[in-house]
Amino acid sequence: MLSLTNKRILLGITGGIAAYKCAELTRLLSKAGAEVRVVMTRAATEFITPLTMQALSGHRVHLDLLDIEAEAAMGHIELARWADLVLVAPATADFISRAAHGKADDLLSTLLLATKARVAIAPAMNQAMWADPATQANLELLGSRDFLIWGPASGDQACGDVGPGRMLEATELATHCAELWKSGAFAGRKFIITGGPTREAIDPVRFISNHSSGKMAYALASEAADLGAEVILVSGPVSLNTPDRVRRIDVESAQQMLDAVLSQIPGADVFIGVAAVADYRPAEVAAEKIKKSSDELQLKLVRNPDIISEVARMNNRPVVVGFAAETEDVVANGKQKLAKKNLDLLFANHATDTFNSDTVAVTAITANGEESLPEGRKEVVARSMLNRIAEILNSKRKGHAA
Ligand code: C5P
């Protein structure tokens, strides 16, 4: 099955009869997990309607450079920045010529100049137009600028000729797209990550909580998504922006965090428990604000569920990765926690060093041993952590195959 999870594909349609194949192409790309936005030249709208493309992509189709409304919603520079890949299909001889010469006289040609994304074109034209030295010279120019040129195929043409110039089929183009990202280590993998603190209500205005900025969990979520994973971040209250391409579920209490994790766990390949979950919660939550009437206040606390242990106990469980922030005997305590919670991997660090800090130094602990990772910014350390997780995922896969 093709995987394009989280990928953003800007599909540029120009005016050729093969434009009809874009309906199926959009459906295939979306089915593979990509988000597709469509830009059409005026000529393209003579072959397939913007309404069809809007219905299939689920987004408004972009037609004009100077459309005030469209620019207000997602301007052309924003659209150019948004894309991971710009795919022009079909790419007519005229469009190829304009792209080769850096024209910016309509929306699609302007986007090509403005984008830093990869650009792929799927030429479609009459075989004689294809063979013409002008077209070939233009293609050579585009190739030298790192444009990907997919096709054309040879065969019967709409005009009755036979020869090269047919646009590739939708399935072939979708496969080319997927191959571009095949190297993403986590393509097709589903990650669930908990992060931030939990809050356990005492009364409507007070709560018990832990120190946790959420930075480590958010860095892991962002890096895993970059490597192609589908990432669900179950987050306690933090003041961080949701990383790109990550689905965030906001929760407050440990029980809510557990419920959210359990609802998402089917099909997960990796669970990473980074959250600083409160170990106890008040046995009862006062309905009204508790008054300061006496010098002492007794709170009865009860144990919260241990989310990571619940996940580790499941049949058919994902790879389970935990964290241990300790104030003493970091590695020894980490080892104990790995065994007690039945984890595949645990990252241990010194608790007070890490709160709110942008850098971290951790020791990776598995049943086979331990290794300290070089201290660095949380984003950089997140990459090293994910490399360890990739090794475990790969060894499990090999284990299955054997
Ligand atoms: O709090 P503790 O040191 O036991 O945390 C170790 C690991 O267990 C962490 O990965 C944390 O996210 C997870 N945990 C959890 N649910 C709890 C307590 C901890 O998932 N109630």
CATH code, domain carrying 41: 3.40.50.1950
- 103-107, 230-234, 371-375: range with lowest mean pLDDT: 371-375
Atom of ligand 1 nearest to the CA of 346: 10
Q: Tell me: the pLDDT tens digits for 130-150?
A: 999 999 999 989 988 888 899
Q: What is the pLDDT of residue 139?
A: 93
Is residue 379 very low, low, confident or very high in pLDDT (cuts 50, 70, 90)?
A: confident
pLDDT band at 71 (very low <50, low <70, confident <90, very high): confident
Q: Are residues 161 and 228 in the same domain?
A: no
Q: What number does the ligand 1 atom closest to the CA of 274 have?
A: 12
Task: Kindly state whether residue 36 falls inside one of the protein's structural domains.
Answer: yes
Residue 2 within a domain: no
Q: Is position 135 within any domain?
A: yes
**Is the per-residue pLDDT at 76 higher than 70?**
yes
The answer on 170 and 197 residing in a single domain is no
Q: How far is the CA of 186 from the centre of ligand 1 (A)?
A: 24
Which of residues 180, 206, 239 is at a domain's end?
A: 180
Tell me the residue type at 369. Answer: G
Mean pLDDT, range 34-53, rounded to an integer: 97
Amino acid 354: pLDDT:
64
Domain that holds residue 71: 8-180
Contact 119, 147 (CB under 8 A): yes
Q: What is the pLDDT averaged over residues 202-230?
A: 94
176 located within any domain: yes
Position 156 confidence tier, pLDDT thresholds 50, 70, 90: confident
228 CA → ligand 1 middle, Å = 26
Residues with CB under 6 A from ligand 1: 194, 254, 273-275, 277, 279, 304, 306-308, 322-324, 337
174 plus 198 within the same structural domain: no
Tell me the C-alpha distance between 210 and 196, whole Å. Answer: 9
Residue 59 and residue 20 share a domain: yes
Task: Say what the pLDDT of residue 402 is.
Answer: 33
Most informative mutation of 208, 255, 277 for ligand 1 (most atoms within 8 A of CB): 277
Q: What percent of the chain has pLDDT over 90?
A: 74
Tell me, what CATH number does 294's domain have?
3.40.50.10300
Predicted TM-score (pTM) of this structure:
0.66
- 37 vs 60: CA distance, rounded Å: 8
Nearest CA to ligand 1 atom 3: 324
Whole-number mean pLDDT of the chain?
Answer: 92
Tell me which residue of 381, 348, 346 sits closest to 362, measured CA to CA: 348
Asked if 53 contacts 26 with a C-beta cutoff of 8 angstroms, the reply is yes
Residue 3 domain flag: no
Residue 65 binned pLDDT confidence (cut-offs 50, 70, 90) = confident
Q: Which of 200, 208, 211, 308 to mutate to test the pocket of ligand 1 (most atoms within 8 A of CB)?
A: 308
For residue 399, is pLDDT > 50?
no
Least confidently predicted of 61-75, 118-132, 311-325 = 61-75
Q: Are residues 39 and 104 in the same domain?
A: yes
To the query of whether residue 159 is one of the catalytic residues in this protein, the response is yes
Catalytic member of 55, 137, 159, 290: 159
Do 146 and 268 fall within a single domain? no
Residue 72's contacts (CB-CB under 8 Å, 6 or more residues apart) are: none
